[in-house]
Copies of this chain bind each other. A is one copy, B any other.
């Protein structure tokens, strides 16, 4: 089942050979929409296959597939509009220093993109997921490295995508699929691979990032690696709605058995009565949560070992003890610890490392200085959340604005009075953040994810008949563009 280096090479070459068929944007959009239609048609079979491999359950998986199809169509819309091409046209200007010739810039596809699937999203961050959808939308064929947690689903989905391609006379090699750890390394090193997208662990992602950077010709590596997703609850917020925050937190951290990259993994809550009520309601809600099945046994082992190690640290309490549930399941739980323990380097640093699964850490702070001290020690995150009182949220008290300014440098998405789980597919979405949240400044979800798979090229003094239609003065494709410095659409 594992692909040899030769098989990886064949997949990459087949993908490269499919690229010309993606050059026509109308073909691309038709392909993306057909792919969404066919995935939906095959929904029952796909959900069944994915559930058998991941135990994520039909409700979650049906929703994930719907999201995936929505995403494919959203990228088709983006391609139709064409703003992503970044068309800029400058007519000659002799008054500039130095003079400006006729210059016309737009973006072209990078080439074959390697996509590394995630364990926890067999659809939305795997074969038909955001990396694949955005790469195809950009005009780049893909070779997907399947995740070993759902190889069968990956094959099924790839066959659906290839059927969609065939309907538009695109060679089936446009979506390649390989299995195996070594194949993944071969893939990122292949000379014809021009970029890579990855969703997974820090260790795995960093190894591939390093391989991408060490190539004779380095390539962009857009990896989403890991995130703690801190939450700060102000004293006033805890006083105002401690119970509600505790319940909301329980829902977010246990959602999908805690297997989301945006699970809130560290919560700064005040000492005192408000914080106590938060912890009490969190205790009740987490205590009521059923044991759940993690994606695979390795994850279960890591979770059980991880929570045990954390529980053993000084001053760490477990109002609800996380750990092994039944033979295959795990139970949700959480820890509390004085925030001061996290304010300086030490063995408690384990508590500011991501622990995949249904567990979070509530760090009780004395004052704003302790919040600042802990936040200053955090690595980069996909999200940061603040829970504010109504006065703080309304700007009546300056604390809300201050706190937003303090958490913004830490994350790619900042939430007020919400929970980070749930990543909308939307033009303004940013699912990325400072390292290790991502290895680049880009996003893997949302409209701008397409930007990752393009590079600009400028044509100088090129006669109109030789210009691509995207760059012609009369704008035959009706593209949004910047002409002589002015935006037009």
Contact = CB atoms under 8 A, between A and B. Distances in A.
A105 interface: yes
Contacts of A100: 424-426
Interface stretch (A114-122, A180-188, A340-348, A439-447): A439-447
B480 A487 contact: yes
Given A67-B98, A97-B67, A416 B462 contact: yes
Given A70-B96, A105-B429, A416 B466 contact: yes
A214 B212 CA distance: 12
A432 B456 contact: yes
Copies in the complex: 2
Contacts of A414: 457-460, 462
Interface residues of A, number: 84
A68 to B, nearest CB: 9
Interface in A51-81: 63, 66-67, 69-70, 77
Interface in A403-431: 404, 408, 411-418, 422, 424-430
Most buried by B among A214, A430, A440: A430
Interface stretch (A83-91, A236-244, A289-297): A83-91
A304 interface: no
Contact of A430 (B67, B395, B458): B458
B460 A408 contact: no
A210 interface: yes
A84 to B, nearest CB: 11
B429 A455 contact: no
Given A67-B97, A86-B448, A96-B425, A401 B460 contact: no
Nearest to A482: B427
A137 interface: no
B97 A70 contact: yes
Contacts of A312: none
A454 interface: yes
Interface string A221-243: 00000000000000000000000
Nearest to A424: B100
Contacts of A489: 487, 489
A428 B97 contact: no
A476 interface: no
A90 B427 contact: yes
Contacts of A416: 459-463, 466
A1 interface: no
Given A90-B426, A96-B424, A217-B380, 14 more contacts: A63-B97, A77-B485, A83-B487, A86-B448, A89-B428, A101-B424, A103-B426, A104-B428, A108-B408, A210-B214, A217-B434, A395-B465, A413-B459, A416-B462
